[in-house]
A and B are shown apart, each in its own frame.
Chain A
């Protein structure tokens, strides 16, 4: 179920330490499990995270991603397994002695301390000289563009400013790993977008290792080098965002990340086609990793469906359908269509023209097709 290494070419930047088998991971999670009574929050999962990586734990609520993060921070004790940082097991180390810091979803700013007091808190625990603390606090506040706000109390700041204080406070000790628990959940959409870019920039500049927990797939895809998709305490797939999207390893992941049209069928005798689907026989670009006759699913992303007037001669991997409705989203429109056999399909159109909608409307007969390369074959 779990992809250990992943194919090169999907990494976002020229950075893919997980493909280098000789490299030792910074953080190694080894068979870690956590139960709360009869409920299994984290189901003995293993995961390697490398120095300098921006890693995202993504999943629906209750999938165990926050519990995993809290075990790394030390707020929850695992029932099984080891958490190794630089080869040293952290499980027995209390949270205040772990070289990791956490940014809380609620920010958890100390309401009785000023912005400076909040940021200085961690350094004071280290017993650094006062001048050095002041210097590093000032440096940190500059980094998050809050120089002017050092003397304010948290309640005198806006939501975005509070978020930056929380970030500065968790970064000031230069943690080996920074844990971010839904750091943008409380921001409005526009501010969230800006903050995501800033966070990426900050992570690259500081060269730190970030682990972010989020339920927002676009956020995970945007910021992370690799994403671990989780469900019910287990890892479903661990890979760079593009690989997760283009080559999901299961129907669950394909359906969870983005939208998808799924067609069930059987591998054809030639091994490069799927037969008996709702669209008939579908031709593939490559050989399927399954025996002929085995049940598989073909997934096609909505934006990869080509739409053309029905009159055209029928090419391969195509089906005629009736447009049911169009949802106009500005940058793109989502089309819902129904084939003559009653299968509902979804397609998206980029609104590149001047007109608000392409010249089509409900009830129109359209031909949907996709190239063999767009088909994703899933065996589970």
Chain B
């Protein structure tokens, strides 16, 4: 008796639209990058071989596949530069994420404690920086952090330092840039989770003899774990591949993976190696996403 309801064209479009989008703008580009990563450099246009020539028929196709190899991946393993660059990126992203948590959590928590009417205003303030171009804000930080910039003048005026410290081209500047830029992505998911926290759970804990600070550790923090995970992933993943902030605020010693890809692609014109670096990066980042997906699914099952 169960007959599949016939879906109208529009309904199909709504359901399948997102998939079509992902295929067109994520899967196909990724497959192209994957293909290039298996190719060899060539002084040609495009700068790699083999190039798929459909007009050559089956023979051409066989020759095309024969021309692919994993040489570029072997090359990544042979040069420690790439390994160090990955490590540097992961380190900077991890430390930034911890800093973002340390700063974002109290902000999100304080937001939930303000009167209801003020909260919408505070959320607006958190996303307000997006009104200005990201690039302009990073340039502003370059200005703030430069040798005779406002920060050093303030520190000197307050007698905190004798000599103006060097900020630009250091890891510190990169951390400042990342933490500043990514803070909304940490605060908003945390706020969304904390805001939903049932106040009566805290009352129940108090009723059972739990003092205030312990209530935070035993109730608030564990129950805000989904927000912590979501916020951390939203910050960690793009931070690993961050290019603009380390390029503008960091020094030559802080070569993050985004800069390595840029160098291979534009300076060395080595598209295959750049692609291989990018594919490895995607694989590295898929791991935390899979963990997150697993967590979300488990929670969905629970409800």
Chain A residues proximal to chain B, CB less than 8 Å: 73-75, 94-97, 101-102, 104, 106, 108-112, 121-122, 125-126, 153, 155, 169-170, 173
Contact = CB atoms under 8 A, between A and B. Distances in A.
Interface in B184-214: 198, 200-201, 203-211, 214
A94 B205 CA distance: 12
A95 B219 contact: no
Contact of B208 (A94, A101, A111, A112): A101
A74 B204 CA distance: 11
B303 interface: yes
Contact of B222 (A97, A112, A173): A112
Contacts of A111: 201, 223
A126 B209 contact: yes
Nearest to A121: B208
16 contacts: A74-B206, A74-B207, A95-B206, A96-B208, A96-B210, A97-B209, A101-B208, A102-B204, A106-B200, A108-B201, A108-B204, A110-B219, A112-B223, A122-B209, A126-B209, A155-B302
B227 to A, nearest CB: 14
Contacts of B208: 96, 101, 121-122, 125, 169, 173
A95 B207 CA distance: 6
A170 B303 CA distance: 25
Nearest to B211: A96
A110 B207 contact: no
A101 B223 contact: no
Nearest to A70: B203
A111 B214 CA distance: 17
Nearest to B207: A102
A67 to B, nearest CB: 14
Interface centre among A95, A97, A102 (most CB of B within 10 A): A95
Contacts of B206: 74-75, 94-96
Contacts of B211: 94, 96
B198 A125 contact: no
How many chain B residues sit at the interface, stated as a range, is 10 to 19
A75 B222 contact: no
Given A96-B208, A121-B218, 20 more contacts: A94-B206, A94-B211, A96-B210, A101-B208, A104-B204, A106-B200, A108-B198, A108-B200, A108-B201, A108-B203, A109-B204, A110-B201, A112-B222, A121-B208, A121-B210, A122-B209, A125-B209, A125-B210, A125-B214, A155-B302
Nearest to A106: B200
A122 B302 CA distance: 25
B222 A73 contact: no
A96 B214 CA distance: 11
| Majority SS at the chain B contact face | helix
Contacts of B214: 125
Contacts of B205: 110, 121
Interface centre among B207, B210, B222 (most CB of A within 10 A): B207
A109 B208 CA distance: 12
Interface string B94-126: 000000000000000000000000000000000
A125 B205 CA distance: 9
A125 B219 CA distance: 13
A73 B209 contact: no
B209 A75 contact: no
B196 to A, nearest CB: 12
Nearest to A101: B207
Contacts of A73: 203, 207
Contacts of A96: 206-211
> 9 tightest CB-CB pairs across the interface, nearest first?
A122-B208, A125-B209, A108-B204, A108-B200, A95-B206, A96-B206, A112-B222, A102-B207, A96-B209
B198 A106 contact: yes
A170 B208 CA distance: 8
A110 B205 CA distance: 9
Contacts of B203: 73, 75, 95, 102, 104, 108
Nearest to B201: A108
A73 to B, nearest CB: 6
A170 B206 CA distance: 12
B298 to A, nearest CB: 12
Contacts of B303: 155
Nearest to B202: A108
A109 B204 CA distance: 8
A95 B218 CA distance: 17
A9 to B, nearest CB: 38
Interface-central residue, A73, A111, A126, A155, by most chain B CB under 10 Å: A111
Contacts of A112: 222-223
B302 A110 contact: no
A350 B206 CA distance: 49
A173 B209 contact: yes
Contacts of A170: 207
Contacts of A108: 198, 200-201, 203-204
Nearest to B215: A96
A153 B301 CA distance: 13
A117 B204 CA distance: 14
Contacts of A125: 208-210, 214
A266 B271 CA distance: 106
A95 B302 CA distance: 32
Contacts of B207: 73-74, 95-96, 101-102, 170
